[in-house]
Structure 1
Amino acid sequence: MSILSFRSNKPAPAPVATSDFVAGYSIEVMPRTAEKVESFAEILPVGTRVYIAHIDGTPIEEMVATAKRIAAEGFEVMPHFPARIIDDAATLEDWIARYQGEADVRSALLLAGGVAEPKGAFDNSMQLMDTGLFDKAGFTRLHVAGHPEGNRDIDVDGSDANVSEALRWKQAFSERTDAQMAIATQFCFEAQPVIEWAEALRANGIDLPVHIGIAGPGKLQTLIKFAIACGVGPSLRVLQKRAMDVTKLVLPYTPDDVVNELAAHKAANPDFAIEQIHIFPLGGIKTSAEWANAAATQAKVSAAR
């Protein structure tokens, strides 16, 4: 008898609460990963918001070309604007003009960026917002970064003092901009810390909706590598515990457990800060889209039978 207990990779039907929670998901791509997708229209629901991550070293021309292509397929494009790789206000204005002129972009994710030291005039997303250039250009949606498990690059002492202060500033900014705002977070693997973080936001007067980062299905080793590289906090233990279980090591990771738990909490607490999920397709864009599309429809199809 084999010591391994294999099971089908076919996902179990999603609860109705999960279907509602996953529907309307957003997803993140990069120019190089987008190139591997022949047609986004064939794998994503119409109107899906597609973030385009701007990694240091990626030419703005590649970013704009990717935005143009995805927008032409009928999707809302939300490129990243990483403050620390933008030289100055003139460069920022040029990027905005390019995105709008070629891809009619009206949405942006504003963040500090993944480099340790600024390459130009900006150090954080608040400085980008303070230029007034996004409001001047008529952006209708601005998202900012959230860190449910903290961010050691911002709070080196392990606290959340600086992150919390920044969110309070962004909350105040949301009250003087015409753009809709939301918090898009780093991906996590455990629901309870996320629930506690989201509830703490509300307790501290932060009422921006939260789009929680979720890692899409993928090989366990791949997800652990990305999680460590991206500074995922204590919820990394979920993957590490799974890696110690020989019966699960050979199976691909799926985010069903964390999503089901968050969805159940949302169903029981409609005012819960988390509004939707944002998928990081670490195991591939098509694989993540297939998982999300199935999760968003399975329970409803079953209920209709």
Structure 2
Amino acid sequence: MAILSIFRNRQAEVAPQASVFGGLLGGYSIEVMPRTAAKIDSFREFLPAGTRVYIAHIDGTPIEDMVATAKRLTDEGYVAMPHIPARSIHGKAMLEDWIARYVNEAGVEQALLLAGGVASPAGDLASSLHLLETGLFDRYGFKRLHVAGHPEGNKDIDRDGTTLLVDEALKFKQAWSERSNADMAIVTQFAFDAKPVILWAERIAAAGVKLPIHLGVTGPTKLQTLIKFAVSCGVGPSLGVLQKRALDLSKLLTPYEPEEFLTEIAAYKLAHPESLIEQIHVFPLGGIRPSADWMNQRLLEDRIAAR
């Protein structure tokens, strides 16, 4: 039986236990690519109604595919949040065309703004700040805008090896949020070690950033796959968690699961309710359905334990 069916219909059968995540998992978000979405018969089989689903825009993906995926998700009862990659957009006119299509054809009201994964911009838009400064998202009535956060640094910004430029960029986005009509939040790159994430969250808060943090984690994923993605995405200090795991033969052949990481974050959040860390965003590197099933099961157990 699908985990979501258990989540909906069999809560009373789950034995009470101590709450592990303290409500941290509630309202989790997840992401999908159009080519992955096309292979899924129904998201309703494994995603709770109303889940925010980011739509990853890989460079070269036709905007028609992005809009069609957003429409499908909206029609199925989910909140579609497409990526808007600045460096893949030729200019303001192209950006407005994309925004208009998302709004008029798919009912989109939310977006993740980011620079994008290409080295050279296709036009004069090179960052999420450039996207914000066009004013188009307010003009088209977007209710929520997210920007990227990098707890372990961003090699595309911090070319000198420091985190100063990343922190400054977040302060600019904080200032922009105070002028925008949209609610804003930070969604982070995935990590595996809670300590650098917590230190980063405390540091940006001390610098005056007040935007809520939606903390990135990976769903269950083969270790070899995870290390490949971690290296390509520039994950820093917490990569050591995976390398240590790779030395343990008993764990080498089993998928990595984020339970220890989430438990540490939940404990910190319980002790520091003022923390900017608000909720969890899932990168389904091992598949969207296994990732959603894993989250749904833990969320179910936590909710029962909290009764």
TM-score by length of 1: 0.93
Alignment of 1:52 onto 2:45: no
- The answer to whether residue 213 in structure 2 is matched with residue 240 in structure 1 is no
Confirm or deny: 8 A CA contact 1:19 1:298 kept in the other structure.
Answer: no
Q: Say if 1:202 and 1:249 are closer, same or farther in 2 by CA, change over 3 A.
A: same
Name 2:99's counterpart in structure 1.
96
Task: Identify if the C-alpha distance between structure 1 residues 292 and 15 changes in structure 2 by more than 3 Å, giving closer, same or farther.
Answer: farther
Task: Name the CA distance, whole Å, in 2 between partners of 1:296 and 1:14.
Answer: 13
Match of 1:3 in 2: none
1:143 aligned partner, one-letter code: H
Per-residue CA deviation, residues 183-233 of structure 1 (Å, 9 max, x unaligned), is: 001000110110110011111000100001101111111111111111111
Deviation at 1:17, TM superposition (A): 4.7
Instruction: For residues 91-138 of structure 1, give each alpha carbon's deviation from its aligned partner in whole angstroms, at most 9, with x where no partner exists.
Output: 000000110111100001000000011011211110110000000000
Per-residue CA deviations over 1:135-168 (Å, capped at 9, x if unaligned) read: 0000000000000000111111110121111111
Is residue 269 of structure 2 the alignment partner of residue 277 of structure 1?
no
Residues 1-25 of structure 1 deviation map (CA, whole Å, 9 limit, x = unaligned): xxxxxxxxxxx99852515101110
The alignment of Structure 1 onto Structure 2 pairs a total of residues equal to 293
Question: SS in structure 2 opposite 1:58?
Answer: coil
Partner of 2:5: none
1:181 and 2:184 aligned: yes
One of 256, 261, 275 as aligned partner of 1:258: 261
* Identity fraction in percent: 62
* Aligned position for 1:70: 73
Specify the alignment match of 2:293 in structure 1: 290
Q: More deviation in 251-260 or 30-39?
A: 30-39
Match of 1:40 among 26, 39, 43: 43
Is contact 2:22-2:270 (8 Å) kept?
no
- SS of the residue 1:211 aligns to: strand
- AA aligned to 1:77 is A
SS at match of 1:28: strand
In the TM superposition, 1:101-140 aligns within 5 A as: 101-140=104-143
Q: 1:203 — aligned with what? A: 206
Deviation at 1:301, TM superposition (A): 2.2
Partners of 2:155 and 2:201 lie apart in 1 by: 19
Which of 135, 155, 160 is the matching residue for 2:163?
160
**C-alpha distance after superposition, 1:246-288 (max 9, x if no partner):** 1111111100000010011111111111100100000000000
Say yes or no: does 1:230 pair with 2:213. Answer: no
- Say if 1:17 and 1:267, in contact at 8 Å, map to a contact too: no
Kept in 1, the 8 Å contact 2:20–2:266? The answer is: yes
Work out the CA distance in 2 between the residues paired with 1:123 and 1:32.
26
Q: CA deviation at 1:42?
A: 1.4
Distance 2:76 2:119 in 1: 35
Structure 1 residues not aligned, in runs of 5+: 1-11
Aligned residue number for residue 16 of structure 1: 19
Aligned with residue 146 of structure 1, among 135, 149, 160: 149
Q: Does the CA contact (< 8 Å) of 1:19 and 1:295 recur in 2?
A: no
Letter of the structure 1 residue corresponding to residue 198 of structure 2 = I
Q: Quick check: 2:18–2:305 contact (8 Å CA) kept in 1?
A: no
Q: Which amino acid aligns with 1:159?
A: T
1:194 alignment partner, one of 197, 211, 214? 197
CA distance in 1, matches of 2:222, 2:281: 19
Deviation at 1:87, TM superposition (A): 0.6
**What is the distance in 2 between the residues matched to 1:126 and 1:260?**
33
CA–CA separation in structure 2 for the residues paired with 1:163 and 1:284: 30
Tell me the secondary structure at the aligned position of residue 190 of structure 2: strand
Give the whole-Å Cα distance in 2 for the aligned partners of 1:215 and 1:74: 24
Q: Which amino acid aligns with 1:94?
A: D
CA distance in 1, matches of 2:194, 2:110: 28
Q: 1:169 to 1:279 in 2, by over 3 A?
A: same
Shift in Å at residue 37 of structure 1? Answer: 1.8
Residues 15 and 260, structure 1, Cα contact 8 Å, conserved in 2: no
SS at match of 2:256: coil
In structure 2, distance between residues paired with 1:300 and 1:135? 37
SS in 1 for 2:23: helix
Moved more, 17-26 or 295-304: 295-304
Q: Is residue 19–residue 296 contact of structure 1 (8 Å, CA) maintained in 2?
A: no
Q: How far apart are the structure 2 equivalents of 1:286 and 1:31?
A: 15
TM-align CA RMSD? 1.4
Distance in 2 separating the partners of 1:47 and 1:183: 20
